[in-house]
């Protein structure tokens, strides 16, 4: 059938054979409660990639989250599996076709809850809203998400509107594709899921947890290349240490991120979007996990 995925690609353990029903590349036997991630890409071989390592990798093995990768070419519906075409109005590069991307999104959302607040469809693009820790917390509190990875110049605008796709950017720079931004978003969300990080506290103190950048960190040796650890940190005086760390965090935020400092001081954290996007005030923070082995 046109646009229907023909043959799934497996990660080595599964022998593909013709079947009526299109099958995802990585069958998602996620137990209930697992945070489900679906990725739409023309480069499925890039996944799980770095996400298979360390904390996200262990959480994947422990089925705290699941990853289903769908090859957009499977929805091309033409024997050349072309997914793009020349830009209307001329100009360089190619644009991904609305009908192909729509077929992939519809397939992915077929078994996802229709409530986009619990399972958004996100297109990673430089035109998107800057990703913030507040948005990451909201996403981690949901049931899952579908990520559309662009390639070429981008995606036909009509499918983004027709399928109410949320556009998110990981920064004001241009990459060759949306796959790496998708991995960054997945990493940020999965680490907040219960059971991924070791002791709960670690997400409390970190950057953006209070709308501020993080204070500087030190560890042994007490003297390194003639540079000492600030005395206060060796004082054992926890209140004074917390005070020093807060003043460091405030100073650094003022200096490096006046946008965050403005949001922090005007208490607009969590208020209207405006600046909030650049700050991190939790809207509905999903208090995530812990840090097992010094990795964050
Ligand atoms: C990007 C970003 C990004 C633009 C054209 C993919 C590339 C290509 N995505 N934050 N910055 N995407 O550069 O999210 O299709």
Q: Which atom of ligand 1 is nearest to the CA of 169?
A: 10
Ligand 1 neighbour 251 (Cβ under 6 A): no
Q: How much is the pLDDT for 258?
A: 95
Q: How much is the pLDDT for 49?
A: 98
Q: How much is the pLDDT for 250?
A: 95
Ligand 1 neighbour 177 (Cβ under 6 A): yes
SS3 57: helix
End-to-end CA distance of the chain: 45
Q: Which atom of ligand 1 is nearest to the CA of 177?
A: 6
If you measure from the C-alpha of residue 281 to the centroid of ligand 1, how many angstroms do you get, rounded to a whole number? 25
Q: How much is the pLDDT for 198?
A: 76
Ligand 1 neighbour 175 (Cβ under 6 A): yes
Ligand 1 neighbour 198 (Cβ under 6 A): no
Query: Tokens 């992915």 — which residue?
Result: 108
For residue 4, give the nearest of 72, 64, 57, 67 by alpha carbon: 72
Mutation to probe ligand 1, out of 129, 178, 183, 277 (largest number of atoms < 8 A from CB): 178
For residue 126, give the nearest of 62, 178, 87 by alpha carbon: 178
Cβ distance 125 to 154 under 8 Å? yes
pLDDT by residue for the chain (296 residues), tens only, comes to: 455 555 555 544 444 455 555 555 445 556 678 999 999 999 999 999 999 999 999 999 999 999 999 999 999 999 999 999 999 999 999 999 999 999 999 999 999 988 999 999 999 999 999 999 999 999 999 999 999 999 999 999 999 999 999 999 999 999 999 999 999 999 999 999 999 987 655 665 576 777 899 999 999 999 999 999 999 999 999 999 999 999 999 999 999 999 999 999 987 655 554 444 444 444 455 555 444 444 44
Query: CA-CA distance, 40 to 282, in Å (whole number)?
Result: 28
Query: CA-CA distance, 154 to 95, in Å (whole number)?
Result: 5
Q: How much is the pLDDT for 204?
A: 59
Instruction: Output the pTM of the full model.
Output: 0.82
Query: CA-CA distance, 35 to 175, in Å (whole number)?
Result: 27
Cβ distance 115 to 169 under 8 Å? no
Q: How much is the pLDDT for 45?
A: 98
Ligand 1 neighbour 79 (Cβ under 6 A): no
For residue 100, give the nearest of 16, 26, 161, 41 by alpha carbon: 41
Query: Tokens 């209070």 — which residue?
Result: 210
For residue 291, the 8-state DSSP code is: B
Helix (H) or strand (E) holding 70: strand 65-71
């Amino acid at each position: 059938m046109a646009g229907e995925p023909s043959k799934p690609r497996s990660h080595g353990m599964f022998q593909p054979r013709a079947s009526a029903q299109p099958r995802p590349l990585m069958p998602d036997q996620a137990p209930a409660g697992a945070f489900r991630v679906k990725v739409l890409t023309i480069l499925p071989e890039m996944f799980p990639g770095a996400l298979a390592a360390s904390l996200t990798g262990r959480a994947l093995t422990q089925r705290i989250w699941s990853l289903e990768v769908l090859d957009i070419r499977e929805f091309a519906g033409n024997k050349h599996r072309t997914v793009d075409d020349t830009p209307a109005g001329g100009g360089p590069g190619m644009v991904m076709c609305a009908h192909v991307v729509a077929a992939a999104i519809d397939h992915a959302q077929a078994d996802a809850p229709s409530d986009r607040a619990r399972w958004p469809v996100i297109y990673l693009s430089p035109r998107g809203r800057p990703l913030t820790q507040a948005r990451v917390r909201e996403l981690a509190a949901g049931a899952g998400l579908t990520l559309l990875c662009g390639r070429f110049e981008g995606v036909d605008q009509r499918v983004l509107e027709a399928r109410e796709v949320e556009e998110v950017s990981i920064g004001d720079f241009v990459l060759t594709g949306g796959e790496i931004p998708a991995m960054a978003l997945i990493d940020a969300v999965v680490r907040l899921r219960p059971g991924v990080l070791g002791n709960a506290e670690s997400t409390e103190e970190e950057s953006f947890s209070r709308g501020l950048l993080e204070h500087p960190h030190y560890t042994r040796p007490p003297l390194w290349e003639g540079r000492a650890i600030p005395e206060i940190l060796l004082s054992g005086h926890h209140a004074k240490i917390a005070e020093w760390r807060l003043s460091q965090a405030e100073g650094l935020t003022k200096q490096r991120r006046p946008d965050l400092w403005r949001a922090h001081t005007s208490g607009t954290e969590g208020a209207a979007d405006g600046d909030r996007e650049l700050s991190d005030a939790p809207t509905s923070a999903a208090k995530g996990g812990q840090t097992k082995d010094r990795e964050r």
